[in-house]
Amino acid sequence: MLKLIIADDERIIRETISTIIDWKKYDIELVGLCRNGLEAYDMILDESPDIVLTDIRMPGMDGLELIRRIYETDLNTQFIILSGYGEFEYAKAAMKYGVRHYLLKPCSEIHILESIKDIAQDCYRKNSSERSYPALNSIRHNVIFTILNNAVCQNRPYDEIMQAYDPYMDFYFSSYHLFYIFFLGFENLEEFLQQLKQYAKNRFPQVTIHGIYVNYTLLLFFKEFAGNYQDMSHFFSHMRLAGHSASLETEDLSFKNLQSLLQTALDKVRRFSMIYYINDFHILSSCNYSFIMDEANKQLSASLQSGSTENTDSLISLLSEVTDLSFLKQLSNSLMLAISAADSRLSTVELTEWLLNVTHETQLEPLKLTLAEKLRTLLSAKPEKSAVSAMTKQIRDYVDQHLSDPNLTLKGIAEQHLFMNTDYVSKKFQKETGTRFSNYLTSVRIERAKKLLVSAGSDKIQTVAEQVGCGNNPQYFSQLFKKNTGVTPSAYAARHHGEG
């Protein structure tokens, strides 16, 4: 589902547009109405919307400045300009920032929908081609593999399992596509995957493809992107495999979210004794170690609850019996994900480092020793007791260290630093701090600016603006400072230096 924000200083216009269209019918969530550019800018930082329908002339920050500032961030937000007849020059200026849609007031529901539908395709296309971070990719694969084992081996409820891993994947808001590949023998699976790997690399290299194989059937699924999937279906049906003369048969389905797809897929595969998960085009077996998986999770749960070294020793002893390197890698990653999800003793940064290091481990015994040491360290430590989680503390630390970055966004911190789902991070941060990220960022910038102005003086305002992340727009800095303090930066500095 795509997110939409409407920004217009005329109340009747923004509220009329919000109500005349049934946005959910078009798979769009209206996340907010804004009275001016400053409100819209803050809301964009908080919500990371896909589409913003904005007026040009608004108080505080006009639509063109809003578009320019967002263009310089790492957000993929697309804009539709809504304005009067005499402002076409503004629209032309916005085109250099990639804006292609310009609606004249008053505009009809039909014209708005035409622009929305057109731009929605761009959004899906951009979403599918977003930069893929190896660590984030690794986490996604490990989460799905863990869910597979929890659902099939331990027979846990789907909702309970997915809720535990909500920080790492979007189970509810993004559409997914599923391909069934029928009559594919296990002896041809490796060859099939290598051909698929090359095809995906050439056509959609940024898309993470997951797969589950059981009994001559492969289930491939991925986040939906723009366009139809006939070309992919044609590729599958015309694939040539050694010793396989018949064409592969396919069926594909769309799902409103990953949750509904996994429920459908897991219901179909759970009755098979041998299940294989496709992790980055590599085959990993599952369920042949179902007892160890089940017992390891029980021992971990007991150790997390009691802090007993006896449970930790039992867990490590159990893991020492594993003789398959690939399985131990997946099991260790599943245990680390469970520890990270349970409490704050393992941060997402540490989790990411662990997953990357395990990926490159090539020997069984060194991994056993490393895993045993890590488990003893983590399970003997007490989770941090704080009013906020380790995640929120990491966000605060990151903001403090990178405050001079004018393009600082929660989306960038979540995806590139925490490797977590942006929506989850946004909601959890607001719940724990009682404020939106944009408000927090503004308050930190203002407080830092106050200290710098006191020590630097009124002749260093440009330098202060740069140090708090507003250097590319001193006028915005002055507006922001006055809005939050009641005085301009120069007046504040002069007051504290006995000037004027």
Q: What is the per-residue pLDDT for 16?
A: 92
What is the layout of strands, in order, in the sheet containing 78-83? 28-34, 2-7, 51-55, 78-83, 101-104
Q: What percent of the chain clears pLDDT 70, i.e. is strictly above it?
A: 92
The average pLDDT across 242-249 equals: 81
CB 428 within 8 A of CB 392: yes
The average pLDDT across 428-442 equals: 92
Per-range mean pLDDT, top range of 226-230, 323-327, 403-407: 403-407
Query: Per-residue pLDDT for 119 more than 60?
Result: yes
Distance CA 154, CA 289 (A): 12
Q: φ and ψ at 452, to 5 degrees? A: -70, -40
Lowest mean pLDDT among 144-158, 365-379, 414-428: 144-158
Query: Per-residue pLDDT for 472 more than 70?
Result: no
Q: What is the per-residue pLDDT for 259?
A: 95
Query: Per-residue pLDDT for 152 more than 80?
Result: no
Q: What is the per-residue pLDDT for 128?
A: 55
pTM: 0.71
Instruction: Give the mean pLDDT of the chain.
Output: 86
Lowest mean pLDDT among 227-231, 310-314, 322-326, 327-331: 227-231
Burial environment of residue 294 by CB neighbours within 10 A (0 to 12, 13 to 18, 19 or more): middle
Query: Per-residue pLDDT for 465 more than 60?
Result: yes
The average pLDDT across 390-403 equals: 91
Q: What is the per-residue pLDDT for 366?
A: 93
Q: What is the per-residue pLDDT for 403?
A: 93
Q: What is the per-residue pLDDT for 227?
A: 56
Q: What is the per-residue pLDDT for 217?
A: 95
Burial environment of residue 491 by CB neighbours within 10 A (0 to 12, 13 to 18, 19 or more): middle
Query: Per-residue pLDDT for 384 more than 80?
Result: no
Q: What is the per-residue pLDDT for 51?
A: 94
Residues 6 or more apart whose CB falls under 8 angstroms from that of 44 comprise: 5, 52, 66, 70, 75, 77
Q: What is the per-residue pLDDT for 341?
A: 79
Distance CA 296, CA 370 (A): 17
Query: Per-residue pLDDT for 289 more than 70?
Result: no
pLDDT in tens, 340-352: 878 778 877 788 8
Query: Per-residue pLDDT for 131 more than 70?
Result: no
Q: What is the per-residue pLDDT for 126?
A: 67
For residue 419, give the nearest of 139, 76, 49, 130 by alpha carbon: 139
pLDDT in tens, 48-100: 999 999 998 888 888 889 999 998 887 889 999 988 766 667 767 878 888 88
Query: Per-residue pLDDT for 492 more than 60?
Result: yes
Query: Per-residue pLDDT for 385 more than 70?
Result: no
CB 82 within 8 A of CB 55: yes
Query: Per-residue pLDDT for 178 more than 90?
Result: yes
Q: What is the per-residue pLDDT for 42?
A: 92
pLDDT in tens, 451-464: 888 887 666 788 88
Residues 6 or more apart whose CB falls under 8 angstroms from that of 476 comprise: 61, 65, 69, 470
The average pLDDT across 107-134 equals: 76
Lowest mean pLDDT among 77-91, 225-239, 425-439: 77-91
